[in-house]
Amino acid sequence: MTIDQTVVFATLAAALVLFVWGRFRYDLVAMMALLAVLLSGALPIERAFEGFAHPAVITVAAVLVISRALQQAGLVDVIVRVLAPLAGRPSAQLVVQTAIVAVLSAFMNNVGALALMMPVALRQAYRDGYSPAIALMPLAFGSILGGLATLIGTPPNLLISTFRARETGEAFGMFAFAPVGAPVALAGIAFVALIGWRLLPKDRRAAPDPERLFDVTAYVTELRVPEESALAGSAMSEVEALADGDARVIGLVRGETRRLAPRAHERMEGGDLLVIEADASALKAVVSGSDLVLEEEQEISRDDLKNDEVTLAEVIVPPGSRLQGRSSTTMRLRSVHGVNLLAIARHGARVDGRLSEVRLQVGDVLLLQGPSERVADAVGEFGLLPLAQREVTVAKPTRLALSASIFGVAIAAVVIGLLPVHVAFATAAVLMVLLGVLGRDEPYEAIDWPVIVLLGAMIPVGTALEATGGTALMADAVIALTGDLGPLWVLVALMVVTMMLSDVINNNATAVLMAPLAIDLAGRLGVSMDPLLMAVAIGASCAFLTPIGHQSNTLVLKPGGYRFGDYWRMGLPLEIVIVVVSVPLILVVWPW
């Protein structure tokens, strides 16, 4: 090996270790890898950031914006209405939910499609009394499978298409992936929805008690402010400070007036009755540190904590949320946003202890209380997913029809060859903003910037691997391992290795690294590159063995109460099904 090849392979090995370790974000790891090949001279400086102008990167960003527009226009409400007749029939719900998320994933970002469907699935699971674990992993896998069917369904397909365009001058079309991807998706959906969920451990299939999950009334107490209290005239925040922020004033009764979710700076008066949410230790700190008096115990229900102006909202922390890794105190939910965090559920169980200090994680379910407008603003600002059903406003059907029409025209423009995919979808995204489907700042909030950075950084790293001859060395090794077995077994080996790699690192990075290898192998074997590129496309997107291989898997980890080892139970047989179904199809549709 040359020095440059050694540098590139060492960089990729280090990046792989860091991806698996997870200590650093994958976009930071990708930038570190890019800088390593640049500073070593393995990649020319002038090619440093060409990945950020790559058509696949532009298309991914545009699809994310379009996905947000469809979500904001009320697509969830339409889905809820479609599923309404299936209430009380968990098996039918599972099949239909998985099929719907797969169809959505074929035309929008698969994580975005899962984000649309998760609230629906969780709401139905809690309502009908079955475990979210039954629905969420099939839903995540369905979102991945659906992306196999179209060019825009998943970023690896876009990347594979651009590699083909570079070699042959012609990219894959919008539905070129469908003859293989659609049957594979159907077979996978049938497996996970009918058989796969039964392979989960029984304790993960047990239904949680939704009433116990967010039974905040057990932590709610009423304290009276004496007429001559030293706290009279003080702000609510001073009461909360007595318990170091672990007590929250969530209601105030003054005479005949009852107000919920008072602001932290609001002043108390003698005779006020404070409704406080606190555990035993926090309540003890408040009472012992003040002259407030415990009222006689009386039963308080969840309905007492909301009214026409104040709402209780159950929301999920998705990947990319500003709350991820932060606590409610550091994000100043109470003091700045006027929203109370009443409870946290993780792995299907309530999190007890000091909520103000709990660092929130992807998949956490939060119970928020506050004025409806403030809760809605907080949900939008922090990028949370609401579980409660939303009402369809008068304007939403019009917005949904408009956004769907723009999206449909963009797809048609790509199919008939009028515009390349990145131009068509960027145009659609801009039109949705100009026509008011999305607000001025919403496109920037919709884009998953870590994914964009990952793609922009890893594409030049893949270029360095090719330019230094590293891809040729890898091709030699694959051919040596398969011996005289022929192209068929090279294709199988390529798909399996790609799947294994995608299970531990980001699928986009996998596609960037494996597509050049497929092209090199095709040249050495003297066969068409198309079947090998299709094998990489299938393998890169099929990350089912771990929760870290794909964002969809990560998103359902905690709401489903899964463990790391649960994924392979359903994922391994699913990957075997995919290999068995896809290899013959590839060879029929894309012959050597």
- Give pLDDT tens digits for 133-185: 888 899 999 999 999 999 988 889 998 999 999 889 888 988 999 999 999 99
What's the Rg (C-alpha) of the chain?
27
Residues 458 and 559 in one domain: yes
Residues 108 and 257 in one domain: no
Which of 285, 304, 323 represents a domain boundary (last residue)?
304
Beta-strand pair 220-224/293-294: antiparallel
Residues 538 and 497 in one domain: yes
- The band of 87, judged by pLDDT with boundaries at 50, 70 and 90, is low
Q: Does some domain include residue 543?
A: yes
- The band of 389, judged by pLDDT with boundaries at 50, 70 and 90, is very low
pTM: 0.72
Predicted confidence (pLDDT) at residue 429 exceeds the cutoff of 60: yes
Q: What are phi and psi of 18, to 5 degrees?
A: -70, -35
Residues 324 and 292 in one domain: no
- The band of 495, judged by pLDDT with boundaries at 50, 70 and 90, is very high
Residues 29 and 155 in one domain: yes
Q: Does some domain include residue 439?
A: no
Burial class (CB in 10 A: 0-12, 13-18, 19+), 483: exposed
Residues 458 and 538 in one domain: yes
DSSP annotation of 192: H
Predicted confidence (pLDDT) at residue 275 exceeds the cutoff of 90: no
Domains contained in the chain, number? 3
Predicted confidence (pLDDT) at residue 212 exceeds the cutoff of 60: no
Which of 286, 304, 322 represents a domain boundary (last residue)?
304
Q: Does some domain include residue 570?
A: yes
Predicted confidence (pLDDT) at residue 82 exceeds the cutoff of 80: no
Q: Does some domain include residue 186?
A: yes
Angle at the Cα of 275 (from 272 to 281), degrees rounded to 5?
A: 120
* Domain span at 320: 310-386
pLDDT for position 393: 38
Rounded Cα gap, residues 244 and 475, in angstroms: 61
Rounded Cα gap, residues 406 and 63, in angstroms: 12
Residues 41 and 190 in one domain: yes
Residue 24 amino acid letter: F
Predicted confidence (pLDDT) at residue 335 exceeds the cutoff of 80: no
pLDDT for position 347: 65
Predicted confidence (pLDDT) at residue 122 exceeds the cutoff of 80: no
Residues 318 and 348 in one domain: yes
Cβ–Cβ under 8 Å, residues 364 and 558 = yes
Rounded Cα gap, residues 417 and 364, in angstroms: 44
Backbone conformation region of residue 561, classed left if phi is above 0, alpha if psi is from -120 to 50, else beta: left
Predicted confidence (pLDDT) at residue 391 exceeds the cutoff of 50: no
Q: Does some domain include residue 291?
A: yes
CATH number at residue 291: 3.30.70.1450
Residues 292 and 332 in one domain: no
Q: Does some domain include residue 105?
A: yes
- The band of 204, judged by pLDDT with boundaries at 50, 70 and 90, is low
Contacts of 127 (CB under 8 A, 6+ apart): 87
Q: Which two tokens stand for residue 226?
A: 């004496």
Residues 318 and 362 in one domain: yes
